[in-house]
């Protein structure tokens, strides 16, 4: 499990296929929206431009538990989100790989 904020360039850089996709992928995904191709489904375009309905500093619904040992997304990329959650307890449990 991870808590990623794709609005952060470091997160995009480390989770994209390559640096070009990290830097240009998001903006380029918006181009078809202005063309007849707007009806095509592109899940990654929504992912790269996702903004949460509740920002981490406003989250107060329940305690947060990060179970960390994910080979695709390193733990340090979740820290920017988790460090902003202050209204509920946040805990991280590192699992054995």
pLDDT tens-place string over residues 74-94: 889 999 999 999 999 999 998
pTM of the model: 0.73
**Model confidence over 53-71: pLDDT tens digits?**
999 999 999 999 998 766 7
- CA-CA distance, 97 to 91, in Å (whole number)? 19
Sign (positive/negative) of CA torsion 79, 81, 83, 85?
negative
Which residues are CB-neighbours of 90 under 8 A, at least 6 positions away? 63, 64, 65, 66, 82
């Amino acid at each position: 499990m991870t808590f990623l904020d794709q609005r952060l360039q470091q997160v995009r850089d480390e989770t994209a296929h390559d640096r070009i996709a990290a830097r240009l992928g998001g903006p380029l995904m918006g181009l078809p929206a202005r063309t007849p191709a707007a009806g095509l489904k592109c899940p990654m375009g929504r992912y790269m431009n996702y903004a949460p309905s509740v920002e981490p500093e406003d989250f107060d619904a329940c305690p947060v538990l990060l179970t960390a040992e994910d080979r695709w997304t390193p733990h340090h990329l979740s820290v920017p989100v988790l460090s902003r959650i202050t209204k509920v307890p946040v805990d991280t449990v590192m699992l054995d790989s």
